[in-house]
Amino acid sequence: MAQRIDGKIVAAEITAKTAAAAAELKRETGVTAGLAVVLVGEDPASQVYVASKSRTAKECGFHSLQYTLDATTAERDVLHQIAELNSDPLVHGILVQLPLPAHIDAGKVIQAISPDKDVDGFHHINVGRLGAGDIKSAFVPCTPAGSMILIERVRGRDLSGLNAVVVGRSNIVGKPMANLLLAANATVTIAHSKTKDLPAVCRNADILVAAVGRPEMIRGDWVKPGATVIDVGINRVAAPEKGEGKTRLVGDVAFAEAEAMAGAITPVPGGVGPMTIAMLMANTLVSAARAAGREPPRF
């Protein structure tokens, strides 16, 4: 039976380290790390995510700001809000909660955020830094950054000689995940829906990262015995066994099947998910340390 990688425990460790470093930064420089979250509209899921991020920021001792704009807010007004936050020295991290209303160009909004405050790691400058292997100066997107820490807990920081397969090629998870694995010396394959004989490709993976957004797509017989499986997927599916209209969360991996094959595996929920918010806090602390002229901690 595989080792279950408990993301809640690791995320709590990261958050505690962030809070301690934030307190030290404030004590030595007077700088309080500041995180601003911009929410446009009243999407219920987005409200839950934003509330969780704001709560964790306060637990870390951050200056936490939330700007909730009406769903009809014009794009120029959202851009104006970001420009103000870019110039605010008390704000070190800016996060715009996605998705945005259809009339707002999300790409334009994200690229308007200062690269030095882009704690989501979506600005093209940070994407370029990561792609060039300059991880120390880049802000890495939070989900792949958290996934990489979970991999390191099992496999160590040097992945030389290991084959890694990332299933999914999104800009938010798949591509940055592949770059992080490459930087750790893994031999990396990016697979996706157009990949020929995807099960065979997955069976070659010592490290298998599933980030496709399809419930339980990765079956147990796709998993190499002893592999480390990181399930990034969060999918809500019907759960009639719990009652009419009830649902449950599953990942992109058929967990029970894969657990019987893998050496280590993340559950859903409780695996990668908690790491995403923890790494957002870590990125914000790194930004604040840089602004104060201090060497940021490594997570």
CA distances (Å), 296 to each of 56, 63, 81, 292, in order? Answer: 19, 18, 28, 10
Q: At 264, is the secondary structure helix, strand, or coil?
A: strand
Which one of 81, 97, 231, 252 is the catalytic residue?
97
| Per annotation, catalytic residue among 17, 117, 118, 120 | 120
Question: Coil, strand, or helix at residue 190?
Answer: strand
Q: Burial of 1 by CB count in 10 Å (0-12 exposed, 13-18 middle, 19+ buried)?
A: exposed
Both tokens assigned to 200: 């065979």
Candidate list 17, 53, 117, 175, residue with the active-site label: 53
Burial tier of 75 (Cβ tally within 10 Å: 0-12, 13-18, 19+): middle
How long is the chain?
299
Q: Which helix (H) or strand (E) holds 42?
A: none
Residue with tokens 């996706």: 192
Query: Are 253 and 231 a contacting pair, CB within 8 Å?
Result: yes
- 136 classed as catalytic: no
- The answer to whether the Cα torsion of 44, 47, 53, 58 is positive or negative is negative
Q: Is 97 a catalytic residue?
A: yes
Tokens of 176: 């940055």
Residues with a known catalytic role = 53, 97, 120
